[in-house]
Amino acid sequence: MTIEKAQFVTSSPDYRRCPIDGKPEYAFIGRSNVGKSSLINMLTGVKGLAKTSGRPGKTQLINHFLINDQWYIVDLPGYGYARISRAMRQQWETMMRGYFLNRTQLINVYVLIDSRIPPQQIDVDFINFLGVNGIPLSIVYTKTDKGSQRDTMKTASQMRQILSEQWEELPPMFFTSAANGHGKNELLADIERINNTL
């Protein structure tokens, strides 16, 4: 798949205020500072499309980017950032639960995980939440350029082992780097494959 056009459409505080055109949506989410915005920019080839920041928690709304006038990349707020108020955290959780459980246009969730860090319980819990609710997902390891391939494979193997305790069939896994473009073709091919089945 080639992305010829990518444009920001809207930011929404609630799933009920998201676009109503029925186009398929592919959501990207992960712990704060996992490199989500950089990955979205790498995938679309549009520098600055998704706003990057050295300050975790920058994304606070549901952001829709229309791709090739046919489908959306949805940039969701990161989870697990401790330096926000409890009320704000609860507000984010309510917003995201509403989106995941009610957004019929949502086709797949790409859960981003830092390839340099051993599996975190918050990631496992979130992946299991999606699984329990029957929401299709894939796991995307980010920042693979910043560590050794051996460490990346170790992280992925540990995650597989943990998930195998509850999952009969594990979600697909991808390995990416926003810095060098690794994994871009594989992710876009996956979205194209899913689009072709709709």
CATH number among 3.40.50.300, 3.30.1370.110, 1.10.10.10, 3.30.70.520, domain 6-195: 3.40.50.300
Closest by alpha carbon to 113, among 146, 140, 151?
Answer: 140
What residue has token string 């697990």?
80
Looking at 67-81, 149-163, 165-179, which range is the least confident one?
A: 67-81
Which of 80, 84, 69 lies closest to 112 in space, CA to CA? Answer: 80
Give the whole-angstrom CA distance, residue 23 versus residue 19: 9
Q: What is the pTM of this model?
A: 0.93
The kind and range of the H/E element at 108 are strand 106-114
Q: What is the per-residue pLDDT across 35-87, written as a single tens digit (0 to 9) for each?
A: 999 999 999 999 889 876 444 445 578 999 999 999 999 999 888 665 666 77
Listed residue (35, 44, 48, 42) closest to 2, CA to CA: 44
